[in-house]
Chain A
């Protein structure tokens, strides 16, 4: 961004600490009147060096570190890390473990979307909705807590399986909570659809067309809201997603309203997936039989090689590139988070909009600075 400003222009720093932000980043806005003419995003305020840390930890210790990339998507981050190691070692989790992983990851998607929508609503001044969403999310977190023993950083996945089996009456308890959420969600969506102020602030604002979105490299709900049906669960199925029936939720408009609609639809779709998974889940072991892999496999040498894995995170395409040199620590781990391109696409997206809409647009992308900075 040009730092020189004309007499009629003004430079506004949004951040690094600001109430609308999911984490610290600096958004420099150049304003002419109320219009944003130029924008630049600066980040790195919570760079933790996770890629370097992973190089210095054993594979087993790495599971705990991957939780900390983004606490809202801890399970999918675990999944992509374990997936890489499993492919390098050449093992596959047994059916029951795969179903448990699907159930937990979909629960994680539901809680992430609920918080995403809630946070977005606060930024619009729709605080009622935030409280509703948090109430629902807490129920889902309690479900995850029942299985994993913790609310947000679970370290639940293991190479070749999962740490704990589901508790006995988990299916009934989960379905009663999820059915309740499904009912509430219809009410909440009604509230969104009938609120005049909400509609004025979201319909036709921050439009990201399919062409621009794919040029900018965006993935996840912002891309699907523009009409591109790109979902790793369908494009490149992992776990047992091939055996489950679900549709990729898309909208055409690509504005803020569509992005929130896609997230609401995806929550319903996730509930549907979990329902099927509970019906189909077989009995059996949690780890591949006849291998040394189990709940505690502290030291493990991984054959030399490299692999690139992708899974569908609540926010989009989560990829990991892992190189092993045959020792007990990875040689190189590159984390390709979904938020990194989303944050990158923010300045072009807010150019030409009103400054009052910046908060709404930024929040509707559901960014997570922690994951982008790593």
Chain B
């Protein structure tokens, strides 16, 4: 499995959705992806290149650009290439399609990203907090402007 081949095939199949692809080494590829195309891209990866293992999914907050990035690390059980896909979301209304239908273990990663960053996953089977208590929902503690617990910016400050 060659990193350059994967990138070539991806950009041919999705010319408008795969942006700024880069090969960092022969086992690490990274690319931006259009947020509406994430499910189709993942499906293509799963069927064509045996990317059958979602290694990690997380959010990153960029308040300066008013963006939240959702980062997917997609790996495989049979080859060592790890593909990093990043989708840019608007920070005020972050929404993206869930990939639970393709990768079963995305379920908890998405619940975690939801409670920590406020990213809303569409078509997620059971979107509710995983680690935090329910009354902290809406604080989004891993965003950069979070001010500690109890949150000074919290809506329910007594």
- Chain A interface residues (CB < 8 Å from chain B): 43-44, 47, 49, 51-52, 214-217, 228, 230, 235-236, 306, 308, 310, 317, 319, 321, 323, 331-332, 334, 336, 340-341, 344-345, 373-374
Q: How far is the CB of A347 from chain B (nearest CB, A)?
A: 11
Q: Is B103 an interface residue (CB 8 A)?
A: yes
Given A332-B60, A334-B56, are A373 and B131 also a contact pair (CB < 8 Å)? yes
- Taken together as a complex, chains A and B put the C-alpha atoms of A373 and B129 apart, in Å, by 13
- Taken together as a complex, chains A and B put the C-alpha atoms of A345 and B82 apart, in Å, by 22
Main DSSP-derived SS at the A contact region: mixed
User: Please, what's the 1-or-0 string for B89-124, where 1 marks a CB less than 8 Å from any CB in chain A?
Assistant: 000000000000001110110000000000000000
Check B130 against A308 for contact (C-beta < 8 Å): no
Residues in B whose Cβ lies below 8 Å from that of A230:
77
Given A52-B141, A215-B104, A332-B60, are A308 and B82 also a contact pair (CB < 8 Å)? yes
Q: How many residues of B contact A (CB 8 A)?
A: 31
Check A49 against B77 for contact (C-beta < 8 Å): no
Residues in B whose Cβ lies below 8 Å from that of A236:
27, 80
Check A214 against B52 for contact (C-beta < 8 Å): yes
Residues in A whose Cβ lies below 8 Å from that of B58:
321, 334
- Taken together as a complex, chains A and B put the C-alpha atoms of A11 and B154 apart, in Å, by 35
Give the contacting residue for A308; candidates B28, B60, B61, B129; CB below 8 A: B28
Q: How far is the CB of B69 from chain A (nearest CB, A)?
A: 9
Q: Is B132 an interface residue (CB 8 A)?
A: yes
Check B108 against A344 for contact (C-beta < 8 Å): yes
Q: How far is the CB of B6 from chain A (nearest CB, A)?
A: 16
Residue of A nearest to B28 (CB): A308
Give the contacting residue for B142; candidates A52, A306, A344; CB below 8 A: A52
Residue of A nearest to B60 (CB): A332
User: Please, what's the 1-or-0 string for B41-58, where 1 marks a CB less than 8 Å from any CB in chain A?
Assistant: 000000000001111101
Residue of B nearest to A345 (CB): B105
Q: Which of A228, A236, A331 has the most CB of B within 10 A?
A: A236
What are 17 A-B residue pairs whose CB atoms fall within 8 Å in the complex? A44-B131, A44-B132, A44-B133, A49-B141, A51-B142, A214-B52, A217-B105, A228-B77, A306-B30, A308-B56, A308-B84, A310-B82, A317-B55, A323-B60, A334-B56, A334-B58, A334-B71
